[in-house]
Amino acid sequence: MRNTRCKPAQTRVKNRLRIVFITAVLLFLYLPILIVILYSFSPSKNAGILTGLTLDWYRQLFGNTEIASTLFNSLRLALASVAASAVLGTLAAVALARKHLRLQGFMEGMSTVPILIPEIVLGMSLLAAFSFVGLRLGMLTLLLAHITFCIPYIFIIVKARIAGIDPVLEEAARDLGASPARVFWDVTLPLIFPAVLAGVLLAFAMSFDDVIISFFVTGPGAQTLPLKVYSSLKVGVSPEINALCTLMLGVVFLFVAISQWIRSKAAA
């Protein structure tokens, strides 16, 4: 009887310890973000002083033409890189999932290298490669660099989705006389489209938010919004930058949340 009574008490203690531990981890991860968001509504220019709430810094932010220009560059870059990555990553995932090649394992591993190695190493490597072939740093080098690290996100998500699709569906379409291209457009693509969309949203968030790789491969007239924020931090953090970071965090979290929701719907 004594052991039976002790077990529920021990279970309650373990559950409370788990809750405390998870709460501490979440606070450690998100408390700095919450502080930035809070100070973006502060009327004072001095960090650490909160005397009230205001939207003045957001109004100034929307009236800043320089920030609007860098925002346009970031959106244009993210959309172009994600569009190219969606095509290349999807085709690569379909090819490696349906074809059994001699070096398939090696090729799959190499396809994920850009998101496994440190960003500073990837940025320096891309800078060296562009310098070797004589490419002038600017929007083109930014685009090529972003395509390089966006492809793995789409490749991994789409390939995982293809692994859960019964190949009999594609074989049945071929038996009915459909060409390989028709099988892809009418059977494979509709089935993997949620995964493609989830990968696109995640890749867009990563591209829009990148600083380190973009820092190495950017050139005159090709400044992105994250680089603008980074350069502004060198002279101190202003509430206007806090407001900009808050909006960027909101966009990134929104795209990641939608991506996860689409993946969960596709897996259900």
Q: How far apart are CA 155 and CA 150, in angstroms?
A: 9
264, two tokens: 């969960």
Rounded distance, CA 141 to CA 153, Å?
20
Query: Is 36:238 a contact under the CB 8 Å cutoff?
Result: no
Q: Global pTM? A: 0.75
Report the distance separating Cα 213 and Cα 234, nearest Å. 19
CA distance 81 to 92: 16
Structure confidence at residue 242 (pLDDT)? 79
Compute CA distances 106 → 23, 45, 233, whole Å.
Answer: 40, 53, 42
Burial tier of 256 (Cβ tally within 10 Å: 0-12, 13-18, 19+):
middle
* Confidence (pLDDT) at 82: 93
DSSP secondary structure letter of residue 52: -
Helix (H) or strand (E) holding 147: helix 139-163
Q: What is the pLDDT of residue 16?
A: 80
Residue 120, token pair as written in the block: 């500073």
Question: What's the pLDDT score for residue 205?
Answer: 83
Regions in the chain scoring below 70 on pLDDT: 1-7, 9, 45-51, 98-106, 235-237, 263, 266-268
Amino acid residing at 22: I
**What single-letter amino acid sits at 120?**
I
Say how far apart CA 122 and CA 206 lie, in whole Å.
15
Query: Residue 184: its pLDDT value, please?
Result: 82
Task: State residue 268's pLDDT score.
Answer: 61
